[in-house]
Amino acid sequence: MNFSTLKLGRILFALPFAVFGILHFMNASAMAGMVPLPGGVFWVYLTGVALIAAAVSMLIGKYARLAALLLGVMLFIFVLSIHLPDLLGGNQQAMSNLLKDFALGGAAWALADTFPAETDTETGM
């Protein structure tokens, strides 16, 4: 049996995002107040779908590089649009979420480079 810390690390990174996605569906109404856009519940559900899709993609290895890159973008959007305004508004507890999403976004981008780039089978790109 070939033990790979990279494969294990990918799994350990992806699984919590699937759980986060499920929690978005279970707590959508409570989370909607954190969304800085109209239609809060819609955005919570959309984020839940994105989190689950990214996790599944990374776990099965299909479009995993793209999924990790987009997950990182989404996490940095959370930092800038949710956590930073909360922190600047005086909520000191927002710092832990800001740092968590900042670190996970960076890790997602670093992990993206460990997945092979998907190619277009018709054009060979």
Amino acid at 58: M
By the 8 A CB rule, do 101 and 78 touch? yes
pLDDT tens-digit map of 81-116? 999 999 999 998 899 999 999 999 999 999 999 999
Higher-scoring residue by pLDDT: 80, 118: 80
pLDDT in the model for residue 2: 66
| pLDDT band per the 50, 70, 90 thresholds, residue 63 | very high
| pLDDT band per the 50, 70, 90 thresholds, residue 59 | very high
pTM value is 0.88
| Token pair 């929690």: residue | 23
The two structure tokens encoding residue 9: 């690390």
